[in-house]
Chains A and B, each alone.
Chain A
Amino acid sequence: MSSKTNTGTPLIDMRDICISFGGVHAVDHVSVDLYPGEVVGLLGHNGAGKSTLIKILSGAYKMDSGEIYVNGERADIRSPRDARRYNIETIYQTLALADNLDAASNLFLGRELTSPLGLVDDDAMESEARKIMARLNPNFQKFKDPVSALSGGQRQSVAIARAVYFNAQILIMDEPTAALGPHETQMVSELITQLKAEGIGIFLISHDIHDVMELCDRASVMKNGKLVGTVDVADVTDDDLLSMIILGKQPGKAA
């Protein structure tokens, strides 16, 4: 199913991934891959297993079986910290922000900027936070408030900033614009295009077919934990993708 442009070693190759919770096969023998400079959309109904699949890649869940290759090498990802070592950054659907900390503290949580004495450098973190936020959401001003005091869109901006700040090679975006207004959503689209041009690989989970058609090179569709199929977006129509999502069947070869 790989696109004609995708030759060489994939950035990410997830093979035959399985995980179940109790009796539920949340992800059932799913394989997906991702090449440099490529955006792969992950589509499917609520509960299809999209978030669970990418949480395995981000180190939040441990898979029951399957293999993950990063740049062609077998990767052992047991925690979010492991994933970061492979330059995998994630925007979680739940955002994963610590509510009582401010935006800069959240941005650098787990990898604080520190002085030679080991003390956190709040000024440096805030100024870095201001720089990155200026790119993402220039209206953002609430750098001193705990993020619990921010709107849904502002919180989402902080989560996006955190994922893109650290020069990820692989970016996972789980419904990154669900709470954003039209203008901010547009800025995220531009950001994706720009990161893609820099050679970063992106998994984009979205419920918005238009986004997927516009931004993605390929789309993988899941249903009930299983992979329905992966298609080149250029070869399919909106309706083809919709029917894959709804019927759980791949459209005929014709395009």
Chain B
Amino acid sequence: MSTGDNYEAAASNSATDVARFDETSSGFVGKIHHALHVTPALVPLIVLLASIIVFGMLLGSKFFSPFALTLILQQVQIVGIVAAAQSLVILTAGIDLSVGAIAVISSVVMGQFTFRYGLPPGLAVACGLGFGTLIGTINGWLVAVMKLPPFIVTLGMWQVVLAANFLYSENETIRSQEIATQAPLLQILGTKFNVGGAIFTLGVIFLLVLVFLLAYVLKHTAWGRHVYAVGDDPDAAELSGVNVKGTIISVYALAGLICAFAGWALIGRIGSVSPTSGQLLNIESITAVVIGGISLFGGRGSILGTFFGALIVGVFTLGLRLAGADAQWTYLLIGLLIIAAVAVDQWIRKVAA
């Protein structure tokens, strides 16, 4: 083909954008940038390790012990599970404000189906998990098929689900004692075991397994690749033959299911089934995702980063409390971390462009 004789100005961009095939490395900054692109969990991991070291030096064995460090895991388990769900949604460039409400209503369904209707606890748990999945699926359908903005859909769903939760449960808490004697399965994720001073719960194990499973699936399945592609550029994904609607619906549905598991773990953690629990899960999960380096613009980040993000919050919370600082310091520092994380994300985007 000849390259001259373009009679339309549009084609003249070939002059400015002519192919370059040299492999230039853009120095140190470029290398850092590349590393962040390939391993987005790197920054949160460094921040996590640094904060553990700093608090360890300040507080000594009070903080730097198997007991305290695994206590952090127990304290972040619910947020961690919910944040894993949130990560999936945010990777598609969405957001899910209903995660906390889904977790709570799922736990209420598990409790009430057992105690009000006398269902076997196993079946009641299955109903709770199914219910969470159903709400997630509705969110996904509204976003993917009705093309409503995720923020609005899930803002509405949050209110609907929370109100339904209070109406249905009649604001009634099912007491821990009752559950322990009649339906211990509901509390099973709270089961503790001791490994040389380190205390784990089944809920913590569930979180760890969930994080590694999701990380694996996102990286090594076609579905995972489609999640990233959809978040990156839904039009390009669609033209490439990705089932964009199906992918989005599956992501919200899976997020609903994971939140329902969080609801189950919540019963294990607090012992009772309480319709007023888990109120801060929305904000806390988004915080973990952002600190974990997942881009709110979608298509970039890793679930491992979110896990580190949740742990960072846990380390700050426990560390500052053990240091006797006012709890407001935690919020202040976490707030700064959020802003810093978004600034880093913008930097990655800019250099990439």
Q: A residues within 8 Å of B by Cβ?
A: 45-46, 58, 60, 79-81, 84, 90, 92, 94-101, 105-106, 109-112, 114, 118-120, 137, 139-142, 144-146, 148-149, 151-154, 156-157, 162, 175, 177-182, 184-186, 188-189, 207-211, 214-215, 242, 245
Contacts and interface: CB of A to CB of B under 8 A. Distances in A.
Nearest to A184: B19
Nearest to A185: B1
A153 B18 contact: yes
A90 B239 contact: yes
Contacts of A179: 13-14, 17-19
A141 B20 CA distance: 11
B6 A207 contact: yes
Top 6 A-B residue pairs of the complex, sorted by shortest distance between their CB atoms: A153-B19, A110-B241, A152-B17, A139-B21, A96-B239, A210-B2
B7 to A, nearest CB: 6
Interface in B1-57: 1-11, 13-14, 17-21, 23, 34, 37-38
A134 B38 CA distance: 25
A209 B236 CA distance: 29
Given A149-B352, A179-B18, A109 B237 contact: yes
A120 B218 CA distance: 10
Given A98-B228, A109-B225, A109-B240, A211 B13 contact: no
A157 B220 contact: no
Given A80-B241, A149-B352, A179-B13, A45 B23 contact: no
A35 B260 CA distance: 56
Contacts, number: 161
B18 A101 contact: no
Contacts of B5: 208-210
Nearest to A60: B239
23 contacts: A100-B37, A100-B299, A105-B225, A110-B240, A112-B222, A114-B221, A114-B222, A119-B220, A120-B221, A120-B224, A146-B352, A153-B17, A154-B19, A156-B19, A157-B19, A178-B14, A179-B13, A179-B17, A185-B1, A207-B11, A208-B3, A209-B7, A214-B2
Given A153-B19, A178-B11, A98 B229 contact: yes
A130 B83 CA distance: 38
B14 A180 contact: yes
Contacts of A149: 37, 352
Contacts of A114: 221-222
Contacts of A110: 226, 237, 240-243
- The size class of the interface chain B forms with chain A is 35 or more
B1 A208 contact: yes
A11 B242 CA distance: 25
Contact of A181 (B8, B18, B300): B18
Contacts of A100: 37, 228, 232, 299-300
A148 B14 contact: no
A162 B2 CA distance: 23
Given A99-B232, A208-B6, 9 more contacts: A109-B225, A114-B221, A145-B34, A175-B11, A180-B18, A184-B19, A207-B7, A208-B1, A214-B2
B239 A112 contact: no
Contact of B240 (A96, A207, A245): A96
Given A119-B220, A209-B5, A101 B19 contact: no
Contacts of B8: 45-46, 207
Contacts of A81: 241, 243
B18 A96 contact: no
